[in-house]
Every structure is written in C-alpha cells, then in structure tokens.
Structure 1
C-alpha cells in the first residue's frame, strides 16, 4: 500500500513538471533528473524495507512452524479424522494460505503413528479424542495400521473417545478401538461392507470408433478389462471376492471385539440394514454407538475424564503440535534406513504428470537413492517400505536391481503397506525378508501392454487417411499401431515381447523367493492375493507392521542397539514453494464439466497414446476406502 501511495505522488509531480516543460525546458530537465534519481532511490529504499519485513515474517513463520511443542499437564491429543490418509504426509508451505494454494487435506500415516506413539509415552497426555469420521484411506491396510497404533496406545492405560456427526465406514472401523463412540443426534454410521461397481468403457469406445489392443499374460490380470470388456470377467470376480472377503473378515472381527458384540450378529446387521439411514436410537440399541451427544456435551465428557471444572480450559494438542513434540528415541547404535516407495512406478517424472500427477516412484531416482544407501557405511540395514500397485516394468526392474545391490552388502527387509502388487511385488522380491500387513494386497504377478487404435474414429468417422513410404516393414509401426487397419503382425510380435517379460517376472520372483519359475507361475497369472493368503504360498514371510520389519532388519544386521532414519528426506518448505503447482487449471475444469462422465476415459486414451512404456506390471487400482 505504501508503494502505491508513493507511486501516485511521483505521478502527480511528473504531471506538474510536464506542465512546466513548455515554459522552462532547461529548468525542467534539471528538475526531471533530480526527480528521477529521487524516485530510483525511493524505490530501492522501499524495496529494501519491504524485503526486510518479508524476511522477518518468514523467519517468524518458519520458527513458529519448527518450534518444539511444550506439552501442558493434563492434555488431550485431538485426532481429526477428515481429509485423506496416505502413506506419508504431503504438507504444504508456510505461504500456502497467503498464495491461495490452500491445504492438501492430506495426513501421513507415518506422522499419525509417530504422534500416537509420542502421546502414549508422554505422561502429561491423558487421552486421545478422535474427532470427525469422514476420512478417506488409500487402502484398507492404512486404516488397519492406524487402528493398530491406537490399540497399542490403550495398553498404556489411557483412554480414547470418538465423536462425529457422521462416520464413514473406514473411519468407523478405526473408531471402534475407542472406549466410547458418540454420535450427533442426526448423525449416521455408514457401515455397509466392502465392494462396489467398476466402470467399463468398451461401449463408449465402440461408439467412438476406438478399439483397445491388448497383449498380456495372466488370466487374472484385470487392469485391461475396463477398456476391453463391458463387465467383470469371472477370473476378476473370483479374485476380488476373495481379497475383499478376507479384508472384511479381518475388520469384522476387530470391530466386534471393539464393540463387545458377536461378529456374526454384527455381520447380519450390516447385511440386513441400510445403516446409513438408520436412526441413532437404533444404532445405540445395536451397540454401534454408545450415546447421542451435542458438541458442548462431548466437551463436558472430556472435561470429566480430565477431572476439570466447568470453567476450566481443555489443553488440546493437534497433529501439528504433536509432530513438534520431542521424540524420546535416541540415536544410539547402528542406523537402520527406512526408505519409503509409494505410488505408481514410472519411468520419469514427466510420465507421472501425463498419468495425472500425484506421488510416484520414479525408477532412476529411487534406484539412485538405494545405491547411495548401499554405499553408506553408517547404514547397517535397510527397510524398504513399499506401497504400490506397480506400473512400468522397465522402471520396476531398475529398482529391483538396486535392491539386489543393497542386499549384497547389508540386510534388506521389505515392509508392505496398503499394496505391494505387480510392479510393487517385482521391486520387493529380492529382499532378505518380506513382512506384510494382514490386509495388504500383494501378488498380481503378470504383465500387459495396452494400446488404443483410433482408426475407426480418425479414418471412418472423421475421414483422415494416412499414406507414406518406408524402407522396411516395421518403419513407422507406432503410427500403424494406433491408426492403422491391419495391426495383427505388430500385435503378434508385441505379445511375444510380453511373454518374454512375464517369464522374466517369474524368474525374478523365483530367484528372490527361493522357488522354481513353474511354482511362481501357478500362483502368478496376475492374481491378486491378500497378504494373509500370500503367507501360505511363500510370497511373504510374516504378517506384521513396519516396526516388526525394523526389528527384523536389526536382527539380521546383528544390532543390539539401533535407531531409524527415514528416506528420502522430505523437501524443505522453500523447495515445496518453488515446486508448488495449482491443482488444476480453469480450462481443465471446464473440459471436465463439458465432458462429464466421458472425461476420464477420453483422458485415459490420451495418456495411453502418449505412454511409451509398452510393458506394464500394474494391478487394478481401486482399493481406496472411505
């Protein structure tokens, strides 16, 4: 504001000098030069002052953000179950609100578990208040791991209470660990079982004149089906029913134990009743919740647990506060590196942007990081935390080779998160030991190539034709694949390429797991397995948590004392600020609105046309739960 006032004053004086120019040119020039120099000096001084204030504000924000939190006596950790919960946090910068970029609405499972642990170990924190129940989780295993951490918290003798206006299914599953579950009088519990319907676009593509060409190995490899079928195949139905049934059975057992009801009775209730529309009184009668409360009443409930008076303030700690509470972990003994690899496996960052962005595993970047850990003498063992449904087979092989290089020098233990399937299993297979969460989705040993042919649209409907010359039969084969009428010979050779890739996948798993390729083929074929089932077929060695993987790594490295360090390091706020991008352009939003339900399949065609990673080791990717 000061700058604009100053600028107006300068403009006014310039106008006065212009008026005098005709009568006194020499005097004007002299005064003009003086004024110009004064203006330049003023702008420089103002810029310096503004810059100084900016730096002071910056230092204040950063210092405030990083200052250690002092926990007051008789405090409660308020855990808000809203937004999305992913493998690691995606925090913004101190300037996001100022720049209008907003909050990501994302919480990291790593941050949540670390904060719950700190709350357990801190004598001044008396309990946890779970507030809200609309969080979305990137996988059933993510919700399970959060619940396990809260269950461990209760072993300290401290309390947990939960309150929400409405509970989504996964949030309710987490909340059943609480001593008491409270609900708004007009609230709901949307407990419905697992499942849903997938979208199939073949009918749309047929109308547009687009045909997807597929080369694949694995009768259960269902990723391609949304583009090539009008409904679910029997093989896909079989595997989905198996792993969803296994996850629900695990969740049902834990929810029943938490609410002190019989599992079969709870299962029947979910099947027979649309609980999202069931009145609160009936939910209380069915023991799904304990009581209906208004916000001021839940506050009184917490005060009562803290033994506070009516007018006393509740000392509350948010997730951000807890992250700045000093950890009791001391850096004694050998270092165990925990390397997080989550998201789609891609050949390059550019390919990730083509596929829609989000966190990804870039083959070369991750492989380079792992090589550095192999050469770091301070690192005595590596826990490779994998949460991925796969992606590029080439990038997967690049990472697998780097894992082998580590294994040649020090122990490597894989900890599987929500999913470690297809390419995610490929990069896990060389480890000394594999530990998976009970509800991890794994396996999917199979590969495919998927290429759209748009000749029916471009030539038959739009009238665009192609002609040219070539020196050899397959010169320009890529154009022929996507716009030619006769692609039979090209697809035959591509199928041979995919067959060789699948055999390589079998050999990779056989080598890593101590099996024969024929044995891997029997449990492969692209089939997705729940980790509890994968244990019996030797795809994993043990069911357990990330902590269990760290302990196993310490055991293999023969470490009596150890500490962990997370990799790759989270980028600093300045790096985040420099790389920050808007979540979507205005044009993109308008196109979405115009195309409606057709937006996603059409964008998929665009991506597949530009995707040069012809061999994909990827599983179905619709395992997010709410």
Structure 2
C-alpha cells in the first residue's frame, strides 16, 4: 500500500509539472506570435497593394494577437476594420513603393455603405495617377459595384457577373410559433414599426412593403449612378442588362455589354500586372495584403505626437442586446463619451454608428452623454451601414449627422414583445403552473398566460410615453417641430438619400468626410486621431477568444448563412424592456 501511494503521488506531481510546462510553452508560443505580429513591416519598391476581400469588414476590428494568421488552434479571425482599410488605401496613395492596387474579390462581406466608402477611397486613390486593376472569376453585385471603379476590369473567360437588381428577404416565424404553441403579444407605436411582423404575420404588411421598396430603389439608383459614371453606360442601359439577368450568362455577355473590359486567365492577368509594375518576367510580383500593409509605418509629417486630438468613438452592434456580447453596452459607451468630453486635449468627437438599435433605456443613456458632449465641443455622428431606431436615437443629439448615400436610417419608433408560452407548456409538454400573489398584478408580466386588459393598456401607455420621448429628442436635436418628426417617424425606415430631404441627416459622406468635418469645426491644423473605446490588450482578447464570443464564432462556422436566423431568435429571447430597434435585419442581395 505504501508503494501504491508513493507511485500515485509521483504520478500526480508528474501531471502537475507536465501541465505547468505545457502552460509555459503555450505562453512562450503566444508571446512569440504577439511579438512577431507587432513588428513593423517593410515593403519593396514596385509593389502592389492586394485586396482580395476574403474577410469580414467591420467598422473596427478587434485587437487579436492572431490577426491574419492561420495555423492550428491559433487560427486568426478573418476580419478587417473599415478604418484600417480606408487608412491603407490613403497611405498607398502617397507611398512611392506602391505602384497600384490589385482587386480580386468574389464577394464583399460588408454592408452597402461600407462598400460605398471603400469605393470612394479607391476613387480618391486614382487621383494620384496610380492604377487599379481588377480581376474576377465570379463577381457578386456588391463586388461588381466596388470593382467597377477600376481602370481595367478583367474577367475569367468562364466567369460571370451577378447583375440583376436588388432584393430584400424577410423571414416570418408566425406559423412555426403557432405549431409550437407560442403566442407573441405585441405592443407598439407606429404603422411602419415592422420589427414585430415576423411574429404576427406570414408576409409583409402594405406599409412594410412600401418602405422596403422605397429604400431598395434608392440604394439601387445610387449604385447605378456610380457604375454609370465609371463604366460609361447609362442608367437605362444598366437596368436593361439587369433585366436580362447577367448572373447566369457567360463572361462574353458581360464583355459585350461593357460590364468588363477584357476576358483573361489568371496567368495573363499576372503578366499584365508585371508590365504595370516593371517586374521582370522571371520574378514574382511584389504584392502585399491588407494584414501586412496595415503594419507598414507611415512617414511622419511632424516631430512628436500632436497634443490636439479628434476622438473617433465606435458604436457598433445592438444596444444592450447582442448574441456574442460584442454589441453596444450603454454604460460602457456613455462612460467613453463622458471621458472624451472631459478630456481637454480632445477637440472634437466623431461618433461612428453602425447599429440597428436595441434597448430604449440604453439608447436614452447614450443620448444624454452625446447631448452633453455636443454642448462642449463639436460632435459629428457618422452613420455606417445602419443607424436606425436606437441607432438614430443616439445620433440625433450630435451637432451634425453625416451618412453614406446607401446608409439605412430612421425607424423612429419603439415596441415591446411579450411571448405567451401557455399552450406550449400545458398542451405540448403537460406542464402547469399556479400563482400566489400579494397584490392584484404582482405576477405581471407572466410568460405563461395572456396579458389582461389592464396590463395591455398599461404597457401601451408605456410605449406611447417612450415614443413621445423619442420624437421629442429628435425634434430638439434636429430643430424640427415634433409633429413633423411624427409624420416621418412611425417606425419608418429610410435610405440616406431620402433621409436628407426630410432633415434626418445633414450631408453625405463616410468616416473620412466626418473626420475632415470635425477638423474644420474644431479649427484644427495639427492633430491626431484616437480610436475609442480602448480595446482589450492582447491577452485579454486571447482569453475572450477561448471563451465568451468563441461560442458565437463556433455557431457561425457551423450554421453559415443560417446563423442570422439564430441571431434574430436569440435577440428576441434576450430582449428586456422597451425596444427601439430596426424592423428587421436587412439582407440585401
């Protein structure tokens, strides 16, 4: 027995030592990876900036130690910040080592407004006299919209261009919920507040169809206008091509209709690029991708760091309601805005919003800090792909609102949804409940019975009060009569081109234009940009990747395109209180 305990103890000690060694080795590997990833990158002369767009484009990428890496368990997320992408294109414009940009997308994993901003940055790059060469085997509509800005657009002879007009797809859950025995009880204000429709209807209401058609046509017209200018085709000609559905036609059809310039194989494209960069035939092209080029240091135009700053504060995701936990936390964001307001070295704030809304209370908390900040220094709201409902709520107090022409905004309205699972519990599962209360409505709000008339009336009054607060905030911020806000509110969604005419926004532009406006309003010459909120350090982010959002990442990998349905259902389950949110998650094809 003595020998047994001796060997068992030795085994335990061995396991502990082996575990400690494994931890130390892992930390060493991570430290090495982080050290390498933080090193500046040098670039050769006659180089190409290679943009393949095989990554998600978000307003601001997370600070991941494995960004752009791909080996074993340390596979980095394929995610690039729009801010980094725009900075790289601007940097390449003035970089003597960069001779041009090579675009090779199939699809663009970003919203329309983000694609518009990238396209505008590429247009600005061309003013340097450098070339943009684009090549595709197959191009989706968003990808084609982007690459149509290129000087030369080549396509594989067996490829095709997806060009057929825009379509928006809405998913309805009413019949599925009925089969499960779940009733969704709705309290809302506004005939256009269609966020509740998927749970009470099996198709779009007339009002929802009207608003959807309106903003889709607005976005499509803006796309056609840009493509028309670049490809020297009239809008009428482009619509005629779309009606013929080039998506299922050969590449020679796209060339015949002047959608592309040349039909070439990849080796021929490489030869073209070698000629454009003066690269000898026997040598490889010097191409650098976005993950490396972002680490190429930019020459300083002044000594030291400028003291005066413009703070770009990012507000991305649902407000206090996110599947992965990466959305907007009202307390955290309001604290960031408050600290920026109190910081005397920050002379202007750009609030970058990419949010469909969320909690009405959370929106109010953020709105208050935006209002206070706008009273002490210039605050410019820069709208990304979506800045609607709660996303618009937090923007309306800014001094100026700037949006891309393809931004989705508005949706001024609020709602509440309370599921009643009584039939599911009783009829389907055989589970019953009994309640004891001290007062008449102590069990309000119950998920296992229908609301009483008193409860519904009380909730409706809460919604009406919340809506009145919302339109009052908009009226104050936009200097509009409240009745006029109500007329364009009612939960209606608008494209930015329509929103400008009804005074919901002030001007068109992306993040670049918003920063330029902040500079002008604050009367700055020498300044630097800081991005807020401060991101977690490398090891905090690493721990998060191994836990928390790792679950969402795993589900996204497993479910693919169907992940959006999980998100929608999860958000409904997790929502609490009154919501100021977009009618639905817009998926434009």
Verify same fold: TM over 0.5.
Answer: yes
- Partner in structure 2 of residue 270 of structure 1: 242
List per-residue Cα deviations over 1:68-97 (Å, max 9, x = no partner). 221211110111122322222245333975
Distance 1:458 1:154 in 2: 63
State the Cα distance separating 1:622 from its structure 2 match: 3.0
- Partner in structure 2 of residue 26 of structure 1: none
List per-residue Cα deviations over 1:30-53 (Å, max 9, x = no partner). xx89x9999979996x88987776
Distance 2:433 2:362 in 1: 34
Distance 1:565 1:42 in 2: 47
Distance 1:474 1:383 in 2: 46
Instruction: Choose from 579, 585, 588 the match for 1:622.
Output: 585
Distance 1:91 1:187 in 2: 37
Distance 1:43 1:449 in 2: 53
The alignment's TM-score, normalised by the length of structure 1, stands at: 0.86
State the Cα distance separating 1:601 from its structure 2 match: 7.0
State the Cα distance separating 1:210 from its structure 2 match: 1.6
Distance 2:11 2:203 in 1: 76
Is the aligned partner of 1:526 residue 2:491? yes
- Partner in structure 2 of residue 322 of structure 1: 293
Is the aligned partner of 1:431 residue 2:394? no
Instruction: Choose from 510, 516, 540 the match for 2:505.
Output: 540
Distance 1:38 1:494 in 2: 64
Distance 1:519 1:590 in 2: 45
SS at match of 1:472: coil
State the Cα distance separating 1:342 from its structure 2 match: 0.9
Alignment of 1:54-73 (within 5 A): 57-73=29-45
8 Å contact 2:308–2:346 — kept in the other structure?
A: yes
- Partner in structure 1 of residue 319 of structure 2: 345
State the Cα distance separating 1:577 from its structure 2 match: 0.6
Instruction: Choose from 165, 173, 180 the match for 1:208.
Output: 180
- Structure 1 residues 241, 188: closer, same or farther in 2, change over 3 A? same
State the Cα distance separating 1:380 from its structure 2 match: 1.1
Instruction: Choose from 292, 304, 308 the match for 2:275.
Output: 304
- Partner in structure 2 of residue 365 of structure 1: 332
State the Cα distance separating 1:209 from its structure 2 match: 2.0
- Partner in structure 1 of residue 94 of structure 2: 121
State the Cα distance separating 1:311 from its structure 2 match: 0.2
8 Å contact 2:388–2:493 — kept in the other structure?
A: yes
Distance 1:59 1:619 in 2: 42
List per-residue Cα deviations over 1:536-573 (Å, max 9, x = no partner). 22111111222222222223223233221111233332
Alignment of 1:480-491 (within 5 A): 482-485=447-450, 487-491=452-456
State the Cα distance separating 1:196 from its structure 2 match: 3.2
Distance 2:382 2:536 in 1: 23
Alignment of 1:37-52 (within 5 A): none
List per-residue Cα deviations over 1:284-319 (Å, max 9, x = no partner). 111112222222221111001112221022111111
Instruction: Choose from 318, 342, 345 the match for 1:378.
Output: 345
Is the aligned partner of 1:332 residue 2:306? yes
State the Cα distance separating 1:383 from its structure 2 match: 0.9
Name stretches of at least 5 consecutive residues in structure 1 with no aligned partner. 1-16, 22-28
8 Å contact 1:452–1:605 — kept in the other structure?
A: no
Is the aligned partner of 1:169 residue 2:138? no
Distance 1:417 1:585 in 2: 23
Name stretches of at least 5 consecutive residues in structure 2 with no aligned partner. none
SS at match of 1:231: coil
- Structure 1 residues 610, 307: closer, same or farther in 2, change over 3 A? closer
Is the aligned partner of 1:498 residue 2:463? yes
- Structure 1 residues 603, 514: closer, same or farther in 2, change over 3 A? closer
Is the aligned partner of 1:285 residue 2:256? yes
Distance 2:235 2:37 in 1: 45
- Structure 1 residues 66, 604: closer, same or farther in 2, change over 3 A? closer
SS at match of 2:319: strand
Is the aligned partner of 1:88 residue 2:60? yes
8 Å contact 2:34–2:65 — kept in the other structure?
A: no
State the Cα distance separating 1:576 from its structure 2 match: 1.1
8 Å contact 1:118–1:327 — kept in the other structure?
A: yes
Q: Which shifted more, 445-454 or 86-95?
A: 86-95
Q: Which shifted more, 520-529 or 549-558?
A: 549-558
SS at match of 2:177: helix
8 Å contact 2:168–2:588 — kept in the other structure?
A: no
Instruction: Choose from 76, 79, 82 the match for 1:109.
Output: 82
Instruction: Choose from 43, 48, 60 the match for 1:76.
Output: 48
- Partner in structure 1 of residue 366 of structure 2: 399
Distance 2:346 2:221 in 1: 39
The alignment's TM-score, normalised by the length of structure 2, stands at: 0.91
Distance 2:268 2:434 in 1: 76
SS at match of 1:136: coil
* Larger Rg computed on CA atoms: 1
SS at match of 1:253: helix
Is the aligned partner of 1:218 residue 2:211? no
8 Å contact 1:452–1:608 — kept in the other structure?
A: no
List per-residue Cα deviations over 1:322-360 (Å, max 9, x = no partner). 1111124654362111111111111xxxx52xxx22631
Distance 2:587 2:550 in 1: 20
Question: What is the aligned-residue RMSD (CA, Å)?
Answer: 3.2
8 Å contact 2:351–2:381 — kept in the other structure?
A: yes
List per-residue Cα deviations over 1:72-130 (Å, max 9, x = no partner). 11110111122322222245333975662633222221111111111111011000001
SS at match of 1:558: coil
State the Cα distance separating 1:382 from its structure 2 match: 0.8
List per-residue Cα deviations over 1:373-426 (Å, max 9, x = no partner). 111111111111111110100000000111122123222111111111100010
Distance 2:256 2:571 in 1: 51
Is the aligned partner of 1:409 residue 2:376? yes
Q: Which shifted more, 369-378 or 83-92?
A: 83-92
8 Å contact 1:190–1:275 — kept in the other structure?
A: yes
Distance 2:470 2:578 in 1: 12
Distance 1:529 1:421 in 2: 9
SS at match of 1:477: coil
- Structure 1 residues 39, 551: closer, same or farther in 2, change over 3 A? closer
8 Å contact 1:162–1:180 — kept in the other structure?
A: yes
